[in-house]
Every structure is written in C-alpha cells, then in structure tokens.
Amino acid sequence: MKSPYLEIPRLLEKGEKVALARIIRQRGSSPRSMGTACLVREDGSPLGTIGGGALEHRVCQRAREVLQEGRSALMHFELSGRDAASTQMLCGGIVDVYLEPLFPENAAIQALFRGVADLVRGGGRGSLVTRVAEGIDARSEASRILITEGGEVLGAIEGLPQDRIRHLRGEWIRGEPRILEMEGTDLFLFVEPLRPAEVLLLFGGGHISTCLVPLAKGVGFRVTVVDDREEFSSPQRFPDADQTLALPFEEAFERLSVTPDTYIAIITRGHIYDLEVLRWALSQRPAYIGMIGSRRKRDMVFAKLREEGASEERLREVHAPIGLAIGAETPEEIAVSIVAELIQERASRRRTEDARSMGGPG
C-alpha cells in the first residue's frame, strides 16, 4: 500500500470518513514497530496493516466505533498473558494504538493532510505532531500540526504554547517516532518524523522489470522506468510505475534527479547499455546501485570502468550480480531477490540515519 499520508487526502476528498490507526508506544517484541500506521474505513476494512492477526481485527472493530462516535480512542495491548491468549500473539511486548477519526467536513484536517502528502511526495522532511488523548472530537481543528524542515508550521494544537512549537521545530531531525510529555501542560504529543519516499530508478523494461515494479511499489518505493524503446517503457506496460521515460539513456540522465534517497537498478538488454548506465550512476551519489548479470559480465564491465578511472571503492559499492543470493532463476524469482535486497539496504540506511540523528554511532 502507498503511505497512509498519501491516501488520506484522496479518501477525504472523495467524502469518505476514515480512521487513522498508529502504534504510538511499543516495548519488547511486537509484530510492527512504533509509528506503523494503517487506515480503517467505515465498514471496518483496513488499508495497510499494523501487524495483522487478531490484534488488528480488534483495532478495526474499535475503529468502526470511533468513526460512529466521532471521537479518538486509545487501545492498550500486552502481548503476553490474557491479551496474548485473546489475540493469539505470543510476542511478549506491549503495544499502544491510537485511533483518530478523520472526517471530510473538517476543512482544517483536509488542509493539514494535504500538506503532509505534498511534503512526502515532494521529497521534503518534517514532523507530524499529534495530541494524544481519549475523546478528541473529529470536528476539532486544533489537535495536530505539521512542522517542515524549514520551520513552517501548519495546523494547531490547543494549549500548546508558541515557545514549545519553536522547540519542536528541531524534532524532524530525530529518526524515531516518540511520545513527548510537555512539561507544564497536560499535553501528550506523538512526534513522527516524516521522510521522503525512496525512489527506484529502473533502467530496462524487460520481463524482470514487469515483475519488479509492482513489488517495489508494494513496499513503498516510487518507481521510474527508463528504456530507449517506447514499447518497453510506457504506462500501459507499467501501470504501477510513477513515471515511464522512453528515451535514449543519455537523454534520460539529463531528466533524472538523483538524491541520497535514490536507488538505481540496471537491468537493460545488454552489457553495452549496462556499462553506459553504470558509468553515469557512479557519477552520482545514490543510496544504492545494482546491476544484473553474471560475475563474468560484471568483471568485464568493471575492467572497462577501471580503465576510465573508476575507483575500487566506488566499484565495491555496486551490487552485482543484483539481488540477494536465493537461487532465483525465473523473472519472478529474480524480481523478488532484487526487491528483498532493496528492502535490506533501505532498512540498514534508516538504522544508520536514526543512530546519527540521535547522536549515536553510525
């Protein structure tokens, strides 16, 4: 599923009521981590998941009530003892889930979540700060704020002094969501750093790519497919892609923006094209570069790039052959191995970023 924050504006604009369910506290073992969110419609059906199983079933049931009542609610689970027996989850952890009813007639809520979606979609960073309390009315216009990296503030929280908002402007840099108890007030705030969705630039529109695109989209990547043949890079061939470019690769390079949140997968139809794309990729600073092919092909391409001056350090950063070594053979299996490696790299980078933002080693 897409980020819930991309779905909320769309659903509200359609006139749908929806409940936002988020894990706001988590200790010990649990199916999902703090900050995990899903949406629940009026019929109780979830969009996304906060862990599945009986726990999620109970959350969806309570979400239906929250939408009927029009007031927020907190749910507490101890995944041991009685709760573990009732949810059939033997994780042994503690989980708190916060449920917020979002109604389309609340113009302030629509504006705030449009701001959140624009920030995430546009590659920005910031924090979504939500007041946590039982019984907040869905009509309230003062229970959450969005703070951008640049310090802009959208929305309001009743009872939150301006000087505390200034203090919160630095919270976006922290990697982990957390609960803050605001000293001198009765406010509990859930602060969730927002980061841009990672982008996958996929060079080559062959059989593997047709399997890879929906998998990469399903785990949260924004995907651009590039091929120099129009029939191999079109919205019809890749309906799940965010963008398709049918251009000679050299022309496509000029149209593409590479950031530290960009992942590059090179799966073209031949080693000459792979060499061209890899040469360009090494001139950028993406999060990840992977190239398909045998070790023999890799060695040939690397030898040519060494002759051109590529450093050993940069070449060691290239994942070639691309994908985790799981014995994949078919296009479907190879696509799974590539997406698994993307997930592994993304998780590793996020852990490193979070450790650095909190002043830890990394």
Residues 31 and 117 in one domain: no
Please name which of 275, 276, 221, 230 lies closest in space to residue 249, comparing C-alpha atoms.
276
Q: How many CB atoms lie within 10 A of CB 72?
A: 23
Alpha-carbon distances of 207 from 210, 241, 245, 334, rounded to whole Å: 5, 15, 17, 10
Residues 91 and 227 in one domain: no
Q: Is the pLDDT assigned to residue 87 strictly greater than 70?
A: no
Which tokens in the block code for residue 299?
A: 């060695």
- Domain assignment present for residue 156? The answer is yes
Residues 113 and 183 in one domain: yes
Structural domain tally of the chain? 3
- Domain assignment present for residue 270? The answer is yes
Please name which of 8, 20, 188, 186 lies closest in space to residue 100, comparing C-alpha atoms.
20
CA-CA-CA-CA dihedral for 11, 14, 18, 20, to nearest 10: 30
Q: Are 53 and 88 contacting, i.e. CB atoms less than 8 angstroms apart?
A: yes
Predicted confidence (pLDDT) per residue in 306-348, tens digit: 999 999 999 999 999 999 999 999 999 999 999 999 999 998 9
Q: Mean pLDDT across the stretch 138-165?
A: 89
Residues 55 and 166 in one domain: no
Predicted confidence (pLDDT) per residue in 8-38, tens digit: 999 999 999 999 999 998 886 666 788 899 9
% of residues, the chain, pLDDT over 70: 90
**Domain-terminating residue out of 194, 218, 253:** 194
**Residue 347 dihedral angles phi and psi, to the nearest 5°:** -65, -40
Residues 310 and 221 in one domain: yes
Residues 213 and 322 in one domain: yes
- Domain assignment present for residue 283? The answer is yes
Predicted confidence (pLDDT) per residue in 153-192, tens digit: 999 998 888 877 877 776 655 567 888 887 777 889 999 9
Residues 120 and 88 in one domain: no
Residues 117 and 211 in one domain: no
Higher pLDDT, 50 or 302: 302
**Domain-terminating residue out of 102, 137, 157:** 102
Confidence at residue 167, expressed as pLDDT on a 0 to 100 scale: 74
Distance from C-alpha of 57 to C-alpha of 64, rounded to nearest angstrom: 11
Q: What is the residue-averaged pLDDT of the chain?
A: 89
- Domain assignment present for residue 42? The answer is yes
Distance from C-alpha of 323 to C-alpha of 361, rounded to nearest angstrom: 28
The per-residue DSSP string of 172-210 comes to: GG-SS-EEEE-TTSS-EEEEEEE-PPPEEEEE--SHHHH
Q: Mean pLDDT across the stretch 106-127?
A: 91
pTM, two decimals, is 0.75
- Domain assignment present for residue 362? The answer is no
Residues 72 and 113 in one domain: no
Band (pLDDT 50/70/90 cuts) for residue 150 is: confident
- Domain assignment present for residue 59? The answer is yes
**AA identity, residue 161:** P
- Full domain range(s) for residue 93: 13-102
- Domain assignment present for residue 297? The answer is yes
Residues 223 and 339 in one domain: yes
Residues 144 and 280 in one domain: no
Q: Mean pLDDT across the stretch 69-81?
A: 86
Residues 298 and 218 in one domain: yes
Which range, of 25-34, 91-100, 166-175, 257-266, averages the lowest pLDDT? 166-175
Please name which of 234, 180, 174 lies closest in space to residue 209, comparing C-alpha atoms.
234
Confidence at residue 90, expressed as pLDDT on a 0 to 100 scale: 47
Residue 42's contacts (CB-CB under 8 Å, 6 or more residues apart) are: 16, 17, 18, 64, 67
- Domain assignment present for residue 133? The answer is yes
- CATH code, 270: 3.40.50.720
**Domain-terminating residue out of 54, 74, 102:** 102
